[in-house]
Amino acid sequence: MLLRALTIAGLATLCLPSFLAPSLQGHNLTSAEALEFTFDHLKHFQNVSAPLLFAWLAPSPLQSWRKADRLWRTPVKNPSPTSSWLQHLPHLITADAASAAHASEARPSTQERTAVKEAPREVTYRRNRKPLAYTVDCTDLKIELDEEATKVVAKIVTSIMSVYRSEEVYETDLVLDGEELQLVSIQLDETQLTEDPLTGYTILPDGRLKVPYTLLSPMKEKIFFLKIVVIINPKENLSFKGLFMFDGNFVAHCEPEGFRRITYCLDRPDSLTQYEVRIEADMEKYPLLLSNGNQVAHGLVENLPGRHYATFLDPYQQPSHLFSLIGGRFTSLMTLFWTFVRLFASGVKKAAVSFLAHPEPIYKEVSPIALERFCGTAAGGYRSVVVTILASPPGRDFLLMASDVLKAAMHWDEENAGREYTLEGLHLVGFHGFNIGMTKNKGMFIFDCDSLLADPLESIDMEYASVVQTVSHAYFHSWTNNLMTIKDWSELSHREGLATFREKLFTATLVPPVVTRMQDLRNLLNFQYPEDAGPLAHPIRPESYEVVDNLYTPTVFLKGAEVMRMYHTILGDAGFRKGMLLYQQTYNGKATTSDDFREAMSRANKRQLDQFGLWYSQAGTPEVIVEATSFDPVRHTYSVTVRQRTPPSPGQPVKEWLMIPMNFGLIGKKSKKDILDPPTQLVLLTGEWRTLRYTGITEDCEPSFFRDFSAPVRLIYERTHQQLAFMMAYDSDPINKWRAAQELAMSIILARAAEAVQNPDVKFQQLPSIFVDLMKAMLLNKQTLGAVKAMTLRMPEMLELQDHMRPADPTALHRARRSVIVDLTSALKREMLELYNELTSQEENSALEEVSRRPLRNELLMYLTSHRDREAATRAFEHFASSRCPSDTFYAVYALASMIYPEGHIALNKLYEEAEGNAELINHWFRLQALADMPDQLERVERLLEHPDFSYTNPARLGALFLTLTSWNSMQFHRKDGRGYELLADVVIQVDKHIPKMASRLLIPLTNWTNFVESRQELMKKQLRRILNQPSLSINTKDWASKALAAN
C-alpha cells in the first residue's frame, strides 16, 4: 500500500541523501522532522480524485499549522475548522496576484536603498542580431563571499573561461560585458595581461572589457583560456542585479542582465556555458550555501578557520541570466519527490508508439531510436529528487502549501508532457520583500515570501493564488525554457508565454477550469487589452527595445500565453503534444526563437503555419466584425459573414490578415439546443472576409462565436438585450454564457454613462427587466457553481469599461457602474439576502464546496452593503466579527471603508492591531484604504505617506497603496482636479531615485492618457512632462514616459 501511495503521489521522504547533509547546517529541520511531515501526508494519497486532484493537495493539516508558534502576530480567535489549504484557492485570481506573479518579476526590495548609477543604453534592434563570435564551453567560478569585498575568480567569474572562436570572425575582438567590477587581473592562457589597447585589454566607457583579436589564436575553433579575477561589493550593490546582500543573506539574481555585475562575461541569453561553482563563506554567519546544479563537494576551507565551502556542478549548459546563488541561514522544509513518467497514462507514449509504427515518420529530424530510448528511459522506474523549500525569516509550517504545489506541478508535467525533473535537487527560497518577485533559475527558484508562504490565519485568496501561479510557473521553466533558452530578449514572450500557458493548464486541474478561464480573461481584458490600445502597444515579439526590464509586460505574458493557447486550439491536444515533443527533441540545450517553435509545430502536424507567425510581429488587438447572419428556411441553411481587421498601433499603421481560430456553434432559437454536430466547430479565419454556410439547419439560430475565448480578439457584434439574454440562458459554452452576461451589463453601464456625460444629475431609468430576471434565475440555479455565480455578479471592472468608452469619462463610468449595482440590489434584495444567510449558516465541508461557497457569500456582501446606509454598516461589521478566514475579513473591511459610520474605523484599527509585526497584513491594511470610495480619499492616501509603516523604498507597500489606487479606484485616481495624477507623479519621481523598476511600473496608468476625455488628457500629459524634466531620471522611467508622450 505504501508503494502505491508513493507511485500515485510521486513523493516521499524516506531518507535524506548524504550529499545534502552539509548544506543543512543551521537549518531548523531534522531528518526525523522531514519524515514526520511526509508520512503525515502519505495517508491522504491512497485514493486520488481525478481530475481536480483535491485529494492530492489536501494533505497539509491545518490544525498543525494553527498549533505552530505565531511568528508575526497574535492568534486569531475561533479559527476556521477547514481541513485543507486548498479551501483558500481563489475563485478570483485577482489582477493584483497576476501582476505580482508575472509582470512584476523585477520587483525591487524593501530594504533602504539609494539612487542607482546606470550606464547609458542604446536601442537594440532585433534585425541587427548577430551570432556569437565566441562561445564559452565552460565557466568555473570560485566566489569568496564577503559583505564588502567578494572575490570572484573564474574560469569566468574570477574566471577561467574555455573560449572557442566561431567561423569567419578572425578579426573580431572579444568583448565581455561588465558593470561595477573592480578588475584585479586577467590572464590569457599563460600570459598575464595589462591594460593596453594593443598588447593587453581595454575597459570601455560602458564598463565592458575588450581583448583585441590579435592576441587570440587565429586558428579556427582554437580553445583559449581566460582567468579573470574581480572584486565586487555586495553590500553596496544597490541595483539588485548580480550579487547583493538581502536581509543579511547573499543573493545572486541575474535575470535579465545581472551576471555582468559578478564577473566579465558574454551576458546574452544565447551564450550557453556549463557552470562549476565553488562558494566559500563564513560558516557561522552563512551556514547554507547553494547554487545551480548538483552539489558535488563540501568541507572546510583549508588554512582559513571558520570558513567552509560547497561546490556545485550543473550538468547542463545554460545562459548567464540563469545563474543564481544564495548564502545565509534559513528555515527549511524538505521532502523527496519520486519521479516516474507514466507515459501510457498521459498519452505521450501512445503517440510515440504510433509514430514508431508509422510507415513514413512524421518527424524526419527525430530518429525512431532516439524516441524509443526516450520512452524506455522515462518509463524505466523511480528516481528521487530532493525538494527543499527555504524561507527567511523562519516559518516552516507556512511552506507546506508551496511544497504541495511544487510536487503537484512536477507530477503534472510528467503526466502531461512526459518530462521528469533532471537534477538531483530542487530548491525554493523565499525572502520577505524580495526585490525580484520571482526568479526561475535552473535548480533554484527565488521568490518573495508573498508568493511562497501561505498561512490560513493571515493569507487571503489572492495570496494563495499567487503561490499556485508563481511556484508552478517557475517549475514549468525547467524543461521548456531553461533547457531551451531564447536567442535574444525580444523573444521573451516565447519563453514566458509558454510557461504561463502551461501554468494556466495546471491551475485548471486544481479548481474548476471554467473559473480559472474566467479570471484569465478578466486579467486580459483589464490589463492587456488597454495596453494594446495605448501608446505603449507592442507586439509580443518587439522589433526593438531600449530597456530589457520594460519587456516584462502584460502583452508579453498574458497575450503570449493566449498565442500558445491558439496553437493548442488549432492543432488539438494531441497535435500540440507532438509539436512539443519534436521541439524539445530538436532544440534541447539550444537557444531558440518563436519561429523555431512554430516550425516544430508545423512539421510535427504537417500544417502550414507561416501566417500564424504574424501574431508575434503585429501589435494591437484584432477585431472580428460580424457583418451578416441569415437563416434560409427554404434551403435549410444558415450563413454567417465575418470580417477581420487590426487597428493601427504605434509604428504599425498597416496590418496584415492574421490566422484566427474561432470555435463556433449554433443554438436553435426554438429548440434552445446546440444544432451543429459536433456542437463546437473550429473555423480558421485567414483572410479579410469569411462566410460560413451550414446546411441541414431547420430552425433559426443564434451564433456562438469564439467559444472558450479561442482567440484574443474583440468581437464586434451588435446584439440586443434579448439576444444576449438568450445566449446567457442557453449557450452551452460556459465562457460565452458568462461573456454574454458581462456584455449585457456593460451595455447598460455604457448607456447610463453616456447619459451622465450629457447630464451629470440625470436620474437613471429602471434596469431592464430582462437583465434583472436573468440575474435572479442565475442566483437561484442550484446547478451553477457558487464561484461562477460570483464571477457573473461582478460587474465589468472600470479598467475594462474605460477601454470600451472612447474617450473615457471615469466620473460618468463610475457613477453608472455603481448605479447598476445599487439598482440590482434593490431589485433582488430578498433573493440575495436569503442566499447570503443560507451560505452563512452552512458549515465548511470539502475543499471544492468551500472554494465555491466563500466567493459567492463575499460578493453578495458587496451587493447587500452597496447602499452604504446604517443597515449596510451593521451587516458588514457582523460579517467582519464572524469572519471565518482572512478573505471574509478583507471583504468586510473593504465594504466598511467606504462608509461614513464608525464601524469602518473600528474594523481598520482592529485589522492594524492584529497586523502588528506582519508586513503582509499591513500591506492589506494599506490596500483596503486605497480601495475606499470616499470623497476625500486622495487626501487620506496622502496622509498615509506620512505613516510610520510607509516607505518609498518598500515596493510591496508602494504597490499595496498606489497600484491598488490607480488600477482599482479610478474615481479617485482620475479625479477632475488632477490631484490623483499629481500625487502619482510625486511618488514616481521619489521612487525613481531608489528603485527605477518600481517607478516605471507605477508610471503605467499615466501612459494611457490618449484613452480619456480631453480634460483628463491635458492633466495627465502635464505630469508626464514633469516627470521627464527630472534630472537624472532612470532609463526605465524615461523609456515609457517618452513613448507615452510621443503618441498622437
pLDDT 10s digits, 775-788 = 999 999 999 999 99
Q: Is the pLDDT of residue 19 over 80?
A: no
CA 7 – CA 968 distance, rounded (Å): 46
Note whether 263 and 230 are within 8 A (CB). Answer: yes
Residue 482: per-residue pLDDT = 81
Note whether 528 and 584 are within 8 A (CB). Answer: no
Residue 437: per-residue pLDDT = 62
Q: Is the pLDDT of residue 649 over 80?
A: yes
Residue 35: per-residue pLDDT = 32
The label of the residue with cell 525533473 reads 421
Surface-to-core class of residue 776, CB atoms within 10 Å of its CB (0-12 exposed, 13-18 middle, 19+ buried): middle
Q: Is the pLDDT of residue 83 over 60?
A: no
Residue 101: per-residue pLDDT = 37
Residue 451: per-residue pLDDT = 77
Residue 394: per-residue pLDDT = 55
Q: Where are the alpha helices (DSSP H) in 29-123?
A: 31-42, 54-57, 62-67, 95-98
Ordered domains of the chain (ranges, CATH): 131-328 (2.60.40.1730), 332-339+383-617 (1.10.390.10), 624-718 (2.60.40.1840), 719-797+806-867 (1.25.50.10), 917-1047 (1.25.50.10)
Q: Is the pLDDT of residue 314 over 60?
A: yes
Nearest one of 643, 729, 649 to 686, comparing CA atoms: 643
Reported as a single tens digit per residue, the pLDDT across 385-434 is 999 989 876 556 678 888 889 999 999 998 888 788 889 999 999 887 77
Residue 259: per-residue pLDDT = 95
Q: Provide the pLDDT confidence category of residue 383 given band limits of 50, 70 and 90.
A: confident
Flag the least confident range among 140-144, 150-154, 846-850, 965-969: 846-850
Residue 711: per-residue pLDDT = 98
CA 738 – CA 514 distance, rounded (Å): 10
CA distances in angstroms from 546 to 123, 551, 1024, 1038, listed in the order given: 4, 9, 19, 10
Reported as a single tens digit per residue, the pLDDT across 535-592 is 999 999 999 999 999 999 999 999 999 999 999 999 999 999 999 999 999 998 899 9
Residue 144: per-residue pLDDT = 97
Q: Provide the pLDDT confidence category of residue 304 given band limits of 50, 70 and 90.
A: very high
Residue 106: per-residue pLDDT = 36
Written as nine digits, the cell of 591 is: 537557444
CA 180 – CA 185 distance, rounded (Å): 15
Residue 89: per-residue pLDDT = 35
Q: Provide the pLDDT confidence category of residue 847 given band limits of 50, 70 and 90.
A: low
Nearest one of 871, 880, 792 to 840, comparing CA atoms: 880
CA 264 – CA 155 distance, rounded (Å): 10
Residue 10: per-residue pLDDT = 29
Written as nine digits, the cell of 351 is: 503517440
Q: Is the pLDDT of residue 105 over 70?
A: no
Whether pTM > 0.75 for this model: the answer is yes
Q: Provide the pLDDT confidence category of residue 659 given band limits of 50, 70 and 90.
A: very high
Q: 10 Å Cβ neighbour count for 148?
A: 11
Mean pLDDT of the chain: 83
Nearest one of 294, 273, 449, 311 to 384, comparing CA atoms: 294
Of 75 and 870, which is predicted with more confidence?
A: 870
Nearest one of 915, 104, 1, 769 to 457, comparing CA atoms: 915
Residue 291: per-residue pLDDT = 96
Q: Check the CA dihedral 825-831-833-837 and report its sign.
A: negative
CA 977 – CA 1015 distance, rounded (Å): 10
Flag the least confident range among 338-342, 366-370, 686-690, 730-734: 366-370
Q: Provide the pLDDT confidence category of residue 913 given band limits of 50, 70 and 90.
A: very high
- Range among 287-301, 345-359, 419-433, 850-864 rated most confident: 287-301
Of 1048 and 343, which is predicted with more confidence?
A: 1048
Sheet-wide strand order for 182-188: 191-193, 182-188, 223-232, 150-165, 134-144, 274-282, 307-313, 294-300
Residue 133: per-residue pLDDT = 82
Q: Is the pLDDT of residue 758 over 70?
A: yes
Beta-bridged to residue 195, according to DSSP, are 201
Q: Is the pLDDT of residue 70 over 70?
A: no
Degrees (nearest 5) of the Cα angle 887, 893, 896?
145
